[in-house]
């Protein structure tokens, strides 16, 4: 049985939060993904593109991912969501400006709207993964939003992992932005999560209890020789192997930058709340991992249009009731960071206008082509960018 959050907590210093957004590189003339990551990165490094996006310097950078049709946009860590918003906006602008040098665009779609083969990025690691996992690796073109939140050490990090797990399905539901697979409506709000779940270590995890048990679990998984390396520990949330953070990996990349910012705010608030509960002696919710796996499936299937597991009640609820429980759980942390209004407006926008998945399908059904869906996704990916509009502006509700 979980303990209720303590609303009388002492304020603490804001935790850092940074994001990794994976974007598709697409040909706007056809709507198809374009295998061009090397050329896009070269363009991004040019003086011409740097001059077009001076706000990107020092706050974001671009990296390769496993497929040549995608690009990863990485922000520096921030304590202010307003600063994070500017990094996210600058990163999307930089990726798109570089892509446009080649007649391409960068789109925040978590799966492609069209069917077709993909190309592996040239890398010894990725080649080893393809050799071992075969078709699974060849088909893996999905784009997620990974959120890093600072923790003091592994003890706090593992305590956080143990306490946030029942809430992660609701994060997935709010971010759902991948209805398409092989050129058709998959029937899932987050088909990305279904595809990603095929990896051997992906998905929900048991509570660990201590850093020693966490690292023992990782060592035991690596000792099976199934995984290529520790980077393939694909738990829904994990200790970052590179940074003093917990890395939450459940979210689809969000169609709109405003939603990415708010999802990062929700995740930071979950981490802050979990750390407070740990310090206060509250035990983790003993939700069985098989039940949590089903909760993740429901979130992937429905987004916010069907029942979701309510961690407070321990049973399915209407989606608005479950999301209200999430907001109530993290409200003290959101209020302390000044992010409650921003997150509340994003949630209101999702329920009023739909998740990214719903918006993609509306475009598909209205204009009856995958190309039209991609055109709409490109517009929404970048619609907040420019002198007349800001991610900080109020959302229409």
Strand ranges, E, within the chain: 17-26, 60-64, 70-75, 105-107, 144-150, 180-181, 184-185, 237-239, 245-252, 308-310, 315-317
For 70, what's the count of Cα atoms within 13 Å in the CB-facing half-sphere?
23
Query: Are 269 and 396 contacting, i.e. CB atoms less than 8 angstroms apart?
Result: no
The answer on pLDDT for 44 being more than 80 is: yes
Residue 64: strand, helix, or coil: strand
Phi first, then psi: give them for residue 102, nearest 5 degrees.
-110, 10
**10 pLDDT exceeds 70?**
no
Looking at every residue in the chain, the average pLDDT score rounds to: 93
Confidence band for 100, pLDDT divided at 50, 70 and 90: very high
Question: What local confidence, expressed as pLDDT, does residue 392 receive?
Answer: 34
Per residue in 261-301, pLDDT (tens digit) is: 999 999 999 999 999 999 999 999 999 999 999 999 999 99
The C-alpha atoms of residue 192 and residue 210 are separated, in whole angstroms, by 31
In the predicted structure, residue 326 carries a pLDDT above the cut 70: yes
Distance CA 272, CA 330 (A): 8
């Amino acid at each position: 049985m979980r303990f209720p959050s303590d609303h009388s907590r002492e304020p603490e210093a804001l935790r850092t939060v940074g994001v990794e957004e994976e974007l598709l590189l697409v040909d706007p003339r056809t709507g198809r993904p374009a295998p061009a990551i090397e050329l896009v990165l070269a363009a991004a490094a040019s003086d011409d593109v740097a001059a077009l996006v001076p706000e990107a310097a020092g706050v974001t950078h671009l990296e390769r991912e496993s497929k040549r049709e995608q690009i990863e946009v990485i922000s520096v860590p921030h304590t202010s969501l307003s600063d994070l918003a500017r990094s996210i906006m600058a990163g999307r602008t930089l990726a798109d400006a570089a892509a446009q040098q080649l007649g391409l665009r960068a789109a925040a779609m978590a799966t492609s709207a069209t069917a077709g083969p993909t190309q592996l990025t040239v890398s010894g690691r990725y080649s080893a993964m393809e050799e071992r996992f075969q078709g699974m690796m060849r088909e893996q073109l999905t784009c997620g939003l990974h959120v890093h939140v600072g923790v003091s050490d592994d003890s706090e990090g593992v305590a956080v992992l143990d306490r946030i797990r029942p809430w992660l399905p609701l994060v997935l539901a709010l971010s759902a932005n991948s209805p398409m697979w092989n050129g058709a409506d998959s029937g899932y709000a987050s088909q990305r999560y279904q595809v990603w779940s095929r990896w051997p270590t992906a998905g929900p995890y048991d509570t660990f209890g201590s850093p020693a048990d966490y690292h023992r679990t990782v060592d035991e998984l690596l000792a099976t020789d199934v995984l290529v390396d520790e980077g393939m520990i694909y738990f829904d949330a994990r200790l970052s192997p590179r940074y003093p953070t917990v890395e939450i990996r459940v979210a689809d990349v969000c169609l709109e930058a405003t939603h990415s910012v708010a999802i990062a705010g929700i995740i930071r608030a979950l981490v802050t709340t979990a750390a407070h509960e740990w310090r206060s002696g509250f035990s983790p919710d003993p939700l069985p991992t098989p039940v949590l796996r089903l909760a993740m499936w429901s979130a992937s299937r429905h987004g916010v249009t069907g029942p979701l597991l309510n961690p407070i009640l321990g049973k399915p609820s209407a989606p608005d009731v479950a999301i209200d429980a999430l907001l109530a759980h993290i409200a003290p942390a959101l209020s302390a960071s000044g992010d409650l209004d921003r997150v509340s407006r994003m949630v209101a926008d999702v329920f009023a206008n739909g998740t990214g998945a719903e918006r993609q399908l509306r475009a598909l059904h209205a204009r009856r082509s995958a190309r039209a869906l991609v055109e709409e996704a490109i517009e929404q990916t970048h619609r907040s960018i420019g002198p007349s509009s800001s991610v900080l502006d109020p959302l229409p509700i």
